[in-house]
Amino acid sequence: MPALRPPRRAGFFMRIAKLLAGAVLAQAGQLHAADVQAGKVKAQACIACHGEQGVSSMQNTPSLAGQPDGFIQWQLVYFRGKTRKDDIMGPIAAALTNADIRDLGAYFSSLSPPPPLTDADPDTPRFARGAKLAQANRCSTCHGETYAGQQAVARIAHQREDYLLKALRDFHQGKRTGGGIAAMPDAVYRLSDEDLQALAHYLARFQ
């Protein structure tokens, strides 16, 4: 019977970490025969709502600038397959081909993400509560230490606060389920609405 292996030395992990970092970079370069320029042209159909440079100034409408390519693509695939249901995005995504989706993902992910929200009169206790909740619920495991997202996981740092809250509420109420094994509804199900508000407040301002 094979025995359980003892944990190995730190040097081992350093080696793996370096290898992994290399693999991740290689992967980012490999993606698809996607075309940023073609994406920019196709994005003319999107900017009325999502903003000129992918930074939205429309209520309850997310900024797309700086979202991970994979996240944008997956969400468009979900809208198209009605796994994610939305009256506005459903019909828009239904008309997109796989090539369109690759180009749009490449374009919006290439834009600079919006800056953090700043207040003249910061609500420090609320910010602190959001920070604590984010840590206690291990949001960064998937969204990354800076909440910039990665692969199929959304950038949530500096997203519009109203949209963050809407998204969290949608997950909480089961209106949005997420695809595959990404279980956002379970990530937020124990949280109160006040918690969700604090998280949205914190993430929009995260520095």
Partner 1 sequence: MKLQSLMRPWAASLAVAALSLGFGGLPSAAQAQDLKHYDSTKPDFWKHPPPDWFLGDETAQQKGLSPKAGPATGMTEEEINAALKNIKLPKGFHISLYASGVLSARQMAWGDKGTLFVGAFGVGNVYAIVDNGGKKEVKTILTGMKMPTGLAFRDGALYVADIDRILKYENAEANLDKMPAPKVVYDDMPPYVAHGWKYLTFDKHGWLYVAFGPPFNIGLPPSGTSQIRRIDPDTGLSEVVALGVRNSVGGDVDPRSGKYWFTENARDWMSDDIPSDKLNVISRLGEHFGYPYCHQGNLPDPKYAMGHKCSEFTPPVLNLGAHVAPLGMKFYTGKQFPAKYKNNIFIAEHGSWNRHQYQGANITRVVVDTKGKRAKASVFASGWIKGKEDFTGRPADLIVAADGSMLVADDWAGAIYRISYGK
Binders of ligand HEC in range 111-170 (CB under 6 A): 134, 137-139, 141-143, 152-154, 156, 159, 164, 166-168
Whole-angstrom distance, CA of residue 124 vs CA of residue 5 = 47
Whole-angstrom distance, CA of residue 43 vs CA of residue 53 = 10
Contact, 179 vs 188, CB < 8 A? no
DSSP 30-41: HS-S--HHHHHH
DSSP 113: P
- Contacted by 48, from ligand HEC, partner 1, none: CB < 5 to 8 Å by type: ligand HEC
- Contacted by 53, from partner 1, ligand HEC, none: CB < 5 to 8 Å by type: none
User: Is residue 50 within the footprint of ligand HEC (CB under 6 A)?
Assistant: yes
Residue type, 141: T
**For binding to ligand HEC (CB under 6 A), which residues are involved?**
45-46, 48-50, 60-62, 64, 72, 75-76, 86, 88-89, 92, 104, 134, 137-139, 141-143, 152-154, 156, 159, 164, 166-168, 178-179, 182, 184, 187-188, 199
